[in-house]
């Protein structure tokens, strides 16, 4: 029965390309329109057809990790491209609807993130060995979408572009107090202090990130201008001229959106400006992939714009600019995967082959989702009053003094 159901599912989804499946009982079926390079998979576990029908996202990811779903030539790129492109253009088949409805209905419980649980969720991903992230990130350890002004930009150039673009939206002046919510390994905070003369407080829940950020601040001689704390943003008091949060909002959880923006508004000075940079979906609200939730980002969620703006409106903040970055994260992930692949032996020495398959699956599935399945990056510039920023966006693109000049003026 399960083989027949899986066959029906694949037939209903596979419209473009050529897909060959070797089932556990020896049957071989071909799907698609016969175009392109064939992608061939082999299901080596009798339980896989049932598990894929019941929970395809989780079962396929686990099958690849465990080696019970193999791809000829280990063509994971071709496999995920085929699957995600076809899924993006087809409605879900009927027998998937109950599980998807249940995940959506229960997402508030899964995304409930009080302080203790939030720290545990962050540790699952961000407290992995720092040596792992060194294998594929740029030297500044930017673990968020880069900004490619040109397709020829290197990863380092594109990440520097991202920081400069965000700094421009913050309208920084020397001496301004800046709060960095979810400061990561400190790259953004250090840049805003060193190149723009800001006084920065960065907070993170990751012990590994906090340790590295503090070491970087000491090494750069910026301890007097940058402070990194191991703290939840909800524990902070005081006010800041500017607030920046890059790649953290995905971990807030839908039950906490109003709480997040309430804290943000309370921490802003009357003429303050905030910039929130987050992955988003250009589709209605949905649910997190069970595989991503279990293995990569527990408690995480990619919001639709309507969900974010609804919370912003209710907390009396003014959206002064909203920008959508489309394929920039796909290109960022492509760079990360290429770098990880080139140093996979080192990753295997840190962890094991199963972990490496998991990490490659995560990077490539994410890239293909940004390329083909309505996933983008949102940047929300917010203020308590609409007069806090210039009337037009021209200030972002005018020639301006080098950032280092601002830092010199602050010294």
Q: What is 264-278 written as a DSSP string?
A: HHHHEEEEEEEEEEE
Higher pLDDT among residues 407 and 124, named by residue: 124
Higher pLDDT among residues 380 and 406, named by residue: 380
- Quote the percentage of the chain above a pLDDT of 70: 91
For 278, list phi and psi in degrees, rounded to 5.
Answer: -145, 150
Q: What is the pLDDT of residue 103?
A: 59
Contact indicator for 393, 108 with CB cutoff of 8 Å = no
Q: How many residues does the chain have?
A: 411
Q: What is the strand order of the sheet 28-32 is part of?
A: 28-32, 18-22, 39-43, 69-71
The CA distance from 120 to 186, in Å, is 20
**In the structure, what pLDDT confidence band is assigned to residue 118 with cuts at 50, 70 and 90?**
confident
Q: What is the pLDDT of residue 119?
A: 72
Q: What is the pLDDT of residue 232?
A: 95
The CA distance from 18 to 75, in Å, is 13
Q: Does 109 have pLDDT greater than 90?
A: no
The CA distance from 52 to 185, in Å, is 37
Q: Does 113 have pLDDT greater than 80?
A: no
Domains within the chain, CATH numbers bracketed? 2-105 (no CATH), 115-410 (3.40.50.150)
Contact indicator for 9, 95 with CB cutoff of 8 Å = yes
**In the structure, what pLDDT confidence band is assigned to residue 403 with cuts at 50, 70 and 90?**
low
Q: What's the helix, strand, coil split of the chain in %, to 5?
A: 50, 20, 30
Q: Does 405 have pLDDT greater than 70?
A: no
Q: Does 201 have pLDDT greater than 60?
A: yes
Q: Does 172 have pLDDT greater than 80?
A: yes
Q: Does 289 have pLDDT greater than 60?
A: yes
**In the structure, what pLDDT confidence band is assigned to residue 410 with cuts at 50, 70 and 90?**
very low
Dihedral, CA of residue 204, residue 207, residue 210 and residue 211, to nearest 10: 180
Q: Does 408 have pLDDT greater than 60?
A: no
Mean pLDDT of 332-350: 98
Segment 242-265, tens digit of pLDDT: 999 999 999 999 999 999 999 999
Segment 349-371, tens digit of pLDDT: 999 999 999 999 999 999 999 99
Q: What is the pLDDT of residue 409?
A: 42
Q: What is the pLDDT of residue 402?
A: 47
Q: What is the pLDDT of residue 251?
A: 94
Q: What is the mean pLDDT of the chain?
A: 92
Q: Does 94 have pLDDT greater than 60?
A: no
Segment 295-317, tens digit of pLDDT: 999 989 999 999 999 999 999 99
Q: Does 111 have pLDDT greater than 90?
A: no
Q: What is the pLDDT of residue 122?
A: 78
């Amino acid at each position: 029965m399960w083989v027949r159901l899986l066959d029906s599912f694949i037939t209903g989804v596979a419209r473009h390309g050529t897909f060959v499946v070797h089932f556990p009982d020896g049957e071989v079926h071909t799907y698609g329109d016969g175009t392109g390079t064939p992608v061939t998979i082999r299901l080596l576990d009798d339980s896989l057809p049932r598990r894929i029908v019941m929970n395809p996202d989780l079962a396929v990811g686990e099958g690849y990790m465990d080696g019970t779903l193999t791809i000829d030539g280990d063509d994971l790129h071709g496999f995920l491209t085929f699957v995600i492109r076809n899924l993006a253009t087809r409605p879900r088949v009927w027998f998937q609807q109950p599980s998807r409805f249940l995940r959506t209905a229960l997402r508030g419980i899964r995304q409930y993130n009080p302080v203790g649980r939030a720290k545990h969720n962050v540790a699952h991903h961000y407290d992995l060995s720092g040596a792992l992230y060194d294998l594929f990130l740029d030297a500044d350890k930017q673990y968020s979408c880069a900004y490619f002004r040109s397709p020829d930009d290197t990863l380092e150039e594109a990440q520097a572009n991202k920081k400069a673009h965000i700094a421009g939206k913050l309208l920084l002046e020397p001496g301004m107090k800046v709060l960095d919510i979810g400061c990561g390994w400190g790259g953004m905070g250090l840049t805003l202090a060193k190149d723009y003369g800001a006084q920065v407080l960065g907070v993170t829940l990751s012990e590994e990130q906090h340790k590295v950020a503090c070491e970087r601040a000491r090494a750069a001689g910026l301890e007097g201008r940058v402070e990194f704390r191991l703290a939840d943003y909800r524990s902070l008091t005081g006010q800041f001229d500017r607030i920046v949060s890059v790649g953290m909002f995905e971990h807030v959880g839908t039950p906490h959106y109003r709480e997040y923006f309430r804290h943000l508004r309370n921490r802003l000075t009357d003429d303050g400006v905030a910039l929130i940079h987050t992955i988003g979906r250009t589709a209605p609200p949905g649910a997190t992939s069970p595989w991503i939730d279990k293995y990569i980002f527990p408690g995480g969620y990619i919001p639709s714009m309507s969900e974010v703006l609804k919370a912003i409106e209710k907390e009396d903040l003014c959206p002064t600019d909203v920008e959508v970055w489309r394929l920039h994260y796909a290109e960022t992930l492509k760079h990360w995967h290429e770098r990880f692949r080139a140093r996979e032996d080192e990753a295997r020495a840190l962890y094991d082959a199963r972990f490496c398959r998991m990490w490659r699956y995560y990077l490539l599935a994410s890239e293909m989702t940004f390329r083909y399945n309505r996933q983008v990056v949102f940047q929300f510039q917010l203020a308590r009053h609409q007069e806090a920023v210039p009337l037009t966006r021209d200030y972002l693109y005018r020639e301006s003094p080098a950032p280092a000049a601002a830092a010199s003026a602050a010294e």
